[in-house]
Amino acid sequence: MEREGGREYRTEELAEAAGIPVRTLRFYRERKLLPPPRREGRIAWYDERHLARLRTIAALLDRGHTLGGIAELTAAFEKGRDVGQLGELLGIGGSEETPVRLSPEVLADYFEGEVTPENLAAALDLGYVATDGEEIVHVSRRLLDVSSALVREGVPLSAVLETGRRVREHADALAELFTGLISAHLGQDAVTRLRPLAKSVVEAELTMAMDRLHQQHARPPGPDQPHDPRTPQTPQPPSGPQDPAAAAAPAPQTPSS
């Protein structure tokens, strides 16, 4: 159902849109994980905010949160808790990243019309944002600013989010590598203290890797490199010694019968 404030869903429609059984939706409602629906007689109407909340719950469950912890996060939103405390509930407690609270209008300004339901769902799945009612918390001011800058340069937000997913996989592997190295030789207590060294190694290696790629793209292909068909080729003379007189002589004629 379309209303002036956006689409509305009956209970069964909302459950289908969120990909959950109706009984799960009702369970969340009983646990007060969802705000009350709008009532029209005996019919309960839900809106996009309820759908966003359900996607947030699914993303947090995938990341290992319990329903009790999600309920605490929900209460934090509703009570306007400090974003630093929200960051702890979102799983980034003790991180150097600074969470930031945004209104939907401000978020739309950051990404210039690219805040579609599909992109919002992808951001929720990644854990970049959590949403409650009309408030949104992004887990990292730095990631928010970088993502916004890429979109302003012309990179689609969907591509930024997909790249973020792939970067997350590599970052997890790097974190495991350095944590194992430091823990094995210096103990677990040294991991936090030496984290800046790991960050410096990763930044230096990434910089050099991008430099190498840039040089490869700027260098013309050599004899052993495949030629880019988009690049026009200069005609090459035939190989091997040539007899100037033979080259100048007319081709022999075949006698006609």
pLDDT reported for residue 253 = 54
pLDDT at 245 (0 to 100): 46
Over range 143-171, report the average pLDDT.
93
Least confident of 22-26, 66-70, 86-90, 101-105: 86-90
pLDDT of residue 248: 47
DSSP the chain: -EETTEEEE-HHHHHHHHTS-HHHHHHHHHTT-SPPPEEETTEEEEEHHHHHHHHHHHHHHHTT--HHHHHHHHHHHHHT--HHHHHIIIIITT-S---EEE-HHHHHHHHTT---HHHHHHHHHHTSEEEETTEEEES-HHHHHHHHHHHHHT--HHHHHHHHHHHHHHHHHHHHHHHHHHHHHH-TTHHHHTHHHHHHHHHHHHHHHHHHHHHHHHSPP-TTSPPPTTSPPPP-PPSS---HHHHHSPPPPPPP-
For residues 171-177, average pLDDT: 93
Q: What does the pLDDT read at residue 115?
A: 82
Give the mean model confidence (pLDDT) for residues 23-32.
89
pLDDT higher for 105 or 37?
A: 37
Summarize the confidence of residues 204-210 as an average pLDDT: 94
**Of residues 208 and 49, which shows the higher confidence score?**
208
pTM of the model: 0.55
Assess whether pLDDT exceeds 80 at residue 96: no
* pLDDT at position 249 over 50: no
The average confidence (pLDDT) of the chain is 78
pLDDT of 78 reads: 57
Of 10-19, 55-64, 135-144, the poorest mean pLDDT is in 55-64
Report, as an integer, the average pLDDT of 17-24: 91
> How much is the average pLDDT of 87-116?
73
